[in-house]
Amino acid sequence: MNAGTKRVVAIVVLAGLGFYAGWLKHKRKDAAVHPWTGFRPQAQAATNKMSLSQARFSFTTKLVRHEAEHEPVPPPPPKLFRAVRYDSPAGKLAAYISQPAKDGQKHPAIVWIIGGFSNSVGDTPWEPATPDNDQSASAFWKAGIVTMYPSFRGGADNPGYKESFYGEVDDVIAAADYLAKQDYVDPNRIYLGGHSTGGTLALLAAECSGRFRAVFSFGPADDVGGYGAADLMFDTSNDKEFDLRAPKLWLNSVQNPTFVFEGTSHPSNADAVRIMERASTNAKIHFYTVPGFSHFSILAPATQLVATKILGDDGPASNIAFTNAELVHLNFRMK
């Protein structure tokens, strides 16, 4: 058990896979919960002598399906966002960026990864949502934090194909590089966050790069094999393809403060978070399984809390930390 983390012993019973397939299809904008399918035997966490970035350096992923969305992003409300293109190794990719305050100051910024498998970004950032399932991360831009919502290769009308948590890691880092060049962004205060599949991708990016001042991963998977073959574009007969996408195998690669959150109420990825907590020996990573919230309802109050922490994190190095009391009382943050 990590210091400052209140462990809650719970058994999360997931419904049958047929139910989840229908549920996810119906709620296309919702990030996928991680029902363990048995599709891939769980890789055993080990202390890797090389970093994830080193392991990826000499490896080229093999895609067995070449899928892309070919749909442009919708125009955003101009008072709130602007649509941009950022340069990544795959080419110019679409993103939204919240409109900055016109005060001539440099502001903290966050790259936020919305969940799902489309690699696209739609109207979620500004679409009204209920507190029990608010995936907008609007708490950040409403607090004055510059918020970037990137799409990735193969998503929107972008070049390239979906790589299922591989090349997308490079796109995430490229999004931070784009933000750092904006004259209204403090390049030393760029953060990363994401939910569900976005949380998994954020955690992989944290394991590949020290680019981000702090990282906030909500409801990630420990191993993408749990998502099932239907949403994975790579050669699933090759274990190395999985291993280089399994966050729990590379926890020692994380260089900067990283915080992993999940609710314990159904539906939930709390089991995956606990697996990673048990595997981790890295003091930079902090795991929080929070009772009273689900995979979705934790987002609204917790992102409000994270936004408050970011605004106060203005020293030479990040001072962000979370207490048990703050997490136990998240309900009081609901507006």
Q: Is residue 1 part of a domain?
A: no
- How far is the C-alpha of 107 from the C-alpha of 183, rounded, in Å? 9
Is residue 177, in this structure, part of any structural domain at all?
A: yes
**pTM of the predicted model over 0.95:** no
**Residue-level pLDDT at 332:** 60
Domain, as residue range, for 310: 17-333
Q: What is the pLDDT of residue 245?
A: 97
Cβ-Cβ contacts under 8 Å for 287 (sequence gap 6 or more): 2, 5, 260, 273, 274, 276, 277, 280
* 12 assigned to some structural domain: no
pLDDT of residue 42: 60
CATH number for position 288: 3.40.50.1820
Q: Which residues of the chain have pLDDT under 70?
A: 1-48, 332-335
Whether 11 is in a domain gets the answer no
Q: Give the 3-state DSSP-derived string for 49-62, with helices as H, strands as E and coil as C.
A: CCCHHHHHHCCCCC
The set of residues, in sequence order, having a beta carbon less than 8 Å from that of 231 and lying 6+ positions away, is 32, 117, 164
Say what the pLDDT of residue 249 is: 96
* H runs (alpha helix) in 75-194: 138-142, 167-180
Q: Is residue 162 part of a domain?
A: yes
**Cα 143 to chain center, whole Å?**
20
What pLDDT was estimated at residue 329?
86
Confidence at residue 41, expressed as pLDDT on a 0 to 100 scale: 60
Residue 7 lies in a domain: no
Cis? peptide before 267, omega within 30° of 0: yes
Number of domains in the chain: 1
Q: Does residue 4 fall inside a structural domain?
A: no
